[in-house]
Amino acid sequence: MKVVILGATRGMGRALARKMAARGDRLFLLGRDRNALDRSAQDLKALGGAEVGTSHCDLEQPDGFAAALAAAETALGGFDTVVVTAALFAPQDELERDHLLSRRLLDVNFTRTIEFCEEARRRLTGGGGGTLCVFSSVAGERGRKPVVLYGAAKAGLSHYLEGLDHKFRSMGLKTVCVKPGFVKTDMTAGLDRPPFSGEPEKIAPRVLRAIDRGRPVVYVPPPWRWIMLVIRNLPRAIMRKVGF
């Protein structure tokens, strides 16, 4: 595969990129921190042997999306897979206190991510198809007290990805929506770990398998598929009482 990844400097994006590099996929990294991009590219080159190019791309600066993807196209000679793991997280009470932070999170996790995906989608379908794999969240499956705003953005993102899958699969675009439950990364540092929390390195093979098979939705770690089945079906009266 020839893969462009936005978010490979840390967490699940980094673990997935390492897995791809190790099996010989060609990679191009997009991100907002040039030093972190360089460090990640060197690490991936050491693993896979092939040169790994990078380009600046900040989800808060949509005017740069086209140029970043064009740089990837030039470096890889076209690409067939785009992965987006980049996103912001903040606890609900912090977002309620900080109006600007909540606007930023909603912008980055919903509007800007979709704008980036649209740019990637046009290029993938223009090249005959490929795979767009985007990390959403189980937080988007039900309105829940600790993730009212973050979950709303992820719900919108999941909905968008489902629509893309319905509209473009017959034209060769496979959309893979990854729904992590709780995974131990910088994003969740300091939060209480619920049961069935996962590690980035353990979930990466499952995400890669979903990309290879073009699965429209994948839950990681796997038990979250069943946990969310229960949570989606809980009556509102219970959801108002519980704290999760």
Interacting residue with ligand NAP among 186, 199, 201, 212 (CB under 6 A) = 186
Interface with ligand NAP, residue 201, by CB under 6 A? no
| List 19, 32, 142, 225, residue binding ligand NAP (CB under 6 A) | 32
Element (H, E) at 177: strand 173-180
Nearest to 40 by CA among 109, 86, 105: 86
For residue 189, the minimal CB distance to ligand NAP (Å) is: 9
Q: What are phi and psi of 189, to 5 degrees?
A: -60, 135
Tell me if 158 contacts ligand NAP by CB under 6 A.
Answer: no
199 binds ligand NAP (CB under 6 A): no
Q: In what order do the strands lie in the sheet with 53-56?
A: 53-56, 26-31, 2-6, 81-84, 130-135, 173-180, 217-220
By beta carbon distance, the residue nearest ligand NAP is 11
Question: What is the smallest separation between the CB atom of 109 and ligand NAP, expressed in angstroms?
Answer: 7
CB 182 within 8 A of CB 6: no
**Do 81 and 16 meet the contact criterion of CB atoms below 8 Å apart?**
no
In the complex, which residues of this chain contact ligand NAP (CB under 6 A)? 7, 9-13, 31-33, 36, 58-60, 85-89, 108, 135, 137, 180, 182-183, 185-188
